[in-house]
Amino acid sequence: MTFFWSSWITILSFGCWLFILGALLMVLKFKPEVEEDGTTGHEYDGIREYDKPLPKWWLVIFFGSIVWGVVYWVFFPAMFPKSWDGIATVEVDGKTVPWTSKNELYSDLESNNKVFTDNFEKSILVQANAADAAKTLASLSEMQATMRRSDKPPADLQTKIDENIAALAPDVVKLSENPNALKVGSRLFLQNCAVCHGSNAKGATGYPNLTDNDWLYGGEASNILTTLHNGRVGGMPAWRDQIGEDGVRAAAEYVLSLSPDHGSKSNGELDNTLVTQGQAIFKQQCALCHGQDGKGMISAGAPNLTDNVWLYGGERETVRETLRYGRAGVMPQWETKLGNERIMLLAAYIYSLSDKGVPTATATVPANAPAPKAVASAN
Ligand code: HEC
Ligand code: HEC
C-alpha cells in the first residue's frame, strides 16, 4: 500500500477507536437525571425513555471488539508503513519472517508444494520405478537455491545444474509410460500450456505442434526438459536489409520448392528462375542454420523446411513475410514457476504425445478433461 493509504487507514482506525472509547467514558461519567417514574423525562411521539443498562451480550461484544482491535494492532503490521511489523510471523524458504499477506501467500505455496513434491516422490516416482530421481532432484534444487541466493554464483554452477537436469531424462522416459504420471502431466498441461499450444497440444500458427515428430529443439526427453526449464527464443533473422526484396522473393521461392506440396496448394506454379536464384542465396545465407539440405538444425532451433509442417505458414506471402522481418517465437521458462517435479511430469507427458512407440497419450487427455480444480488437488 502507498504511504498515503496506510496513513489514512491508520488515522481512521485510531480515530474510530478513540471516538468509541470517548463515547464510553462519557456515558459512564454523565448519568442522566431520572424522574420519579423512572424515565429520563424524554418523550418522542408518546414513547418515553427509561435509563436501563445495556444487555450483557451486547457489552461483551462491544468490549471484546475493542480488545480485539488492540490485539490485532499488536500482531499485524496495521500501522503506518514500516513503523510496526507486528509480532505475527510465517515461515518462508526456511526462514521466519514477519507476517505480510505476500509472505503468507509464499508460505502457503511452499507448503502446498511440499505436499505435491512428497506425493510425487513417494508415489508417482516409486510406481514408475524411477525412485532414483529423488536424489538428483534434491541436489538439483539445492544448486538452484544457491544460484538464486548468491549474487556471484560459481562459474560452473549452471553447467552442473544443466547436467543434473539432463540426468533426469531416463526417469522422464519411465514416467512417460506410467498412466498416473501422464494424468497429472496432462492436467498441468491444460492449466499452463494449453493457452499457447492448444488443449490437444497440436499448436497453432507460431506455436509448435507437440504431438508430431517434427521438433525445433529436439524431441528426446533431455531436449524437452531443457526447453521447459530454460525456455527458448527462436532466432530467425530479418533479411530484407541484407538481401533486398528481390532476394527475399527468390529465397522464399526456393524454400517453397523444398516443400513436398510447394508450401500450400494456393501457391500455384513456382517461378523456376527465382528458385534457381534463391538456391544460391540459400546456400550462402541460410544453410548455416537450416542445413545445406534445408532439413533444419536442432542446435539452432531452425525448422526443417523440406516437410509440409509450417510454424508460421507455407503460403507464398507468409514465407516472404517470415524472410523480410524475421521471427522470434518465445517459449517461456518454467523452472521458477513450476519447479523441477512438475516439469518432469510435463516433459513425460509431451514425450508420450509424439510417436515413440509409446501409446499416444491423446487418449489420456479427453477434450472435456477436468479443469484446473483437479489440478489443485494434485498440487
Ligand atoms: C506464451 C505461450 C506459450 C506457453 C504458455 C507455452 N509455450 Fe511452449 N512454446 C511456445 C512457442 C512460441 C514455442 C516455439 C519457440 C520458437 O519458436 O522457437 C514453444 C516451444 C515449445 C516446445 C519445443 C517444441 C519443439 O519443436 O522443439 C515445447 C516442448 C513446449 N513449447 C512445451 C510447452 C509446455 C510443456 C508448456 C507448459 C508448461 C508450454 N510449452 C507453454 C509458446 C508457449
Ligand atoms: C541464425 C540462424 C538462421 C538463419 C541464418 C536463417 N534462419 Fe530461418 N529460421 C531460424 C529459426 C531459429 C527459425 C524459427 C523461428 C522461430 O522459432 O520463431 C527460422 C524459421 C524460418 C522459416 C519459417 C518456417 C516455418 O515453419 O514457418 C523460414 C521459411 C526460414 N526460416 C527460412 C530461412 C531462409 C530462406 C533463410 C536465409 C535467407 C534463413 N531462414 C536463415 C534460423 C535461421
Model pLDDT for residues 303-333, shown as the tens digit of each residue: 999 998 999 999 999 999 999 999 999 999 9
**C-alpha of residue 331 to centroid of ligand 1, in Å:** 4
**C-alpha of residue 207 to centroid of ligand 1, in Å:** 7
Residue 216 grid coordinates: 525445433
207 has which bridge partners?
Answer: 204
**C-alpha of residue 141 to centroid of ligand 1, in Å:** 23
Distance between first and last Cα of the chain: 30
**From atom 7 of ligand 1, which residue's Cα is the shortest distance away?**
331
The residue to mutate among 248, 277, 290, having the most atoms of ligand 2 within 8 angstroms of its beta carbon, is 290
**C-alpha of residue 242 to centroid of ligand 1, in Å:** 29
Match 499452463 to its residue by C-alpha cell. 192
Complete domains list, the chain, with CATH: 3-75 (no CATH), 106-233+332-378 (1.10.760.10), 240-328 (1.10.760.10)
Beta strands 47-50 and 39-44 are antiparallel
Q: Is 278 in the pocket of ligand 2 (CB under 6 A)?
A: no
How far is 316 from 252, CA to CA, in rounded Å? 7
pLDDT at 33: 83
pLDDT at 280: 95
Atom number of ligand 1 nearest to Cα 189: 37
pTM score? 0.77
Q: Is 196 in the pocket of ligand 1 (CB under 6 A)?
A: yes
pLDDT at 191: 95
**C-alpha of residue 309 to centroid of ligand 1, in Å:** 16
How far is 188 from 183, CA to CA, in rounded Å? 9
How far is 210 from 217, CA to CA, in rounded Å? 11
pLDDT at 374: 35
pLDDT at 330: 96
Atom number of ligand 1 nearest to Cα 217: 27
> Residue 320 — φ and ψ, nearest 5°?
-60, -40
**pLDDT less than 70: residues of the chain:** 1, 81, 356-379
Does an H or E element contain 331, and which? strand 330-331
Instruction: List b or e across 85-110, with b for residues whose CB sees 16 or more CB atoms inside 10 angstroms.
Output: ebeeebebeeeebebbeebeeebeee
pLDDT in tens, 35-85: 888 888 888 998 988 888 889 999 899 889 888 988 988 898 877 767 788
